[in-house]
Amino acid sequence: MELRQLEYFITTCEELHFTRASVKLGITQPSLSHQIKVLEDELGVPLFDRIGKRIAVTEAGMILYKQSKRVLGNLASAREQIGELQKMERGTLSIGALPGELNQLVTSLLLDFHRDYPGVRIKVFGVEDIVNRVLQNELDFAITILPLDDDRIHKIPLYREKFYFVATPDHPYAAHEAMNFDEIKSMPIIMFPETHRCRQLIDMTCSNSGFELQPLIETTTIESLFGLVRSGAGGTILSKTLLEMYGYDDLLTIPIQNPTLCREVGIIYHRDKYMGRASRGFIDLLSTHIKELKRDEEPQVCDSEP
């Protein structure tokens, strides 16, 4: 069994199509089929069910797929560690972040990181399936919402923050020093879609309070959300970080109580993954940046968390 065969096998599993896999690998389809057949003969079991032009991974194939990903991941980690011993500062750093302010938090530090590691190529992915990407070794680390209950994931807490009701100065609640959470059910609300983690926190709090949130408008982009709120279409609920990033002076922020909403943001990575010099450097840069931003803030005490 050769590493090349395992690479061919993994690609075929992920494409579930011999022709597409061969194109991705840069080899001919007959060569790929031959290598898979050699692998099956060596193991004595079929790795794929072939039904016409369609294929499906067998149970034995799924076992080999999972173990092969682990083997190749460990090999890549070994290469990285050896490269660092040789003072190599090249390679690629893949960082994940939930779409929105967390993604912008990461990208805001890219220039500073590039000055310290000019030879490292950086890829930033704004994705919702953060944990799965980390477990599949597709990301070196990621910024997401805590807590996460998975023993395979190592977590580094960064900060906690509250959410606020945001509206224009002519909103009926503009003069209120604070508002109860359940008051949002009687007013027009602009929100992110249900797949957004912040929206999920708000929906969960609504459910615990005995009602279902019915947004007037849902939008996937921060710019359009702020634009709608500033136009007077309705209010919204946003995190402190996002509000500080955009800093619109024409919007009011009203604290929410009974309950307050809060989230904890942190860094996650696979517990078995070797964190190279570049990864550690970016994590240190991010941690220092957060400490500077939150230096003068009081600890956040919240009633509701994800």
Q: Average pLDDT, stretch 23-37?
A: 93
% of the chain with per-residue pLDDT over 70: 94
Partnered with residue 218 across adjacent β-strands are 191
65: phi then psi, degrees, rounded to nearest 5 = -60, -50
Partnered with residue 267 across adjacent β-strands are 143, 156
pLDDT tens for 91-120 read 788 999 988 778 888 988 999 998 888 888
Q: Average pLDDT, stretch 260-284?
A: 90
Q: Which two tokens stand for residue 163?
A: 């959410």
Q: What is the pLDDT of residue 86?
A: 52
Query: Which residue is listed with tokens 């069910």?
Result: 49
Contact (CB, 8 A) for 206 and 304: no
Q: Lowest mean pLDDT: which of 6-10, 86-90, 152-156?
A: 86-90
pLDDT tens for 242-269 read 888 888 999 999 999 999 989 899 999 9
pLDDT tens for 167-216 read 999 999 999 999 999 999 989 999 999 988 888 889 999 999 999 999 99
The rounded distance, in Å, linking the Cα atoms of 291 and 123 is 24
Q: What is the pLDDT of residue 87?
A: 52
pLDDT at 301 over 60: no
The rounded distance, in Å, linking the Cα atoms of 238 and 229 is 11
Q: What is the pLDDT of residue 241?
A: 83
Q: Which two tokens stand for residue 284?
A: 């240190």
Q: What number of other Cβ atoms are within 10 A of residue 87's Cβ?
A: 7
Contact (CB, 8 A) for 97 and 103: yes
Partnered with residue 255 across adjacent β-strands are 164
Q: What is the pLDDT of residue 169?
A: 95
- Specify the pTM: 0.65
Q: What is the pLDDT of residue 57?
A: 94
pLDDT at 303 over 80: no
The angle at the Cα of 250, spanning 244 to 255, to the nearest 5 degrees, equals 60
pLDDT at 306 over 50: no
Contact (CB, 8 A) for 167 and 252: yes
Q: Which domains does the chain have, with CATH numbers?
A: 3-84 (1.10.10.10), 89-158+264-294 (3.40.190.10), 160-263 (3.40.190.290)
pLDDT at 288 over 70: yes
The rounded distance, in Å, linking the Cα atoms of 194 and 202 is 10
The rounded distance, in Å, linking the Cα atoms of 245 and 167 is 16
Mean model confidence pLDDT for the chain: 88
Q: What is the pLDDT of residue 267?
A: 95
Q: Average pLDDT, stretch 226-232?
A: 95
Most confident of 49-63, 217-231, 236-250: 217-231
pLDDT at 286 over 60: yes
pLDDT tens for 110-152 read 999 988 888 888 999 988 889 999 999 899 999 999 888 899 9
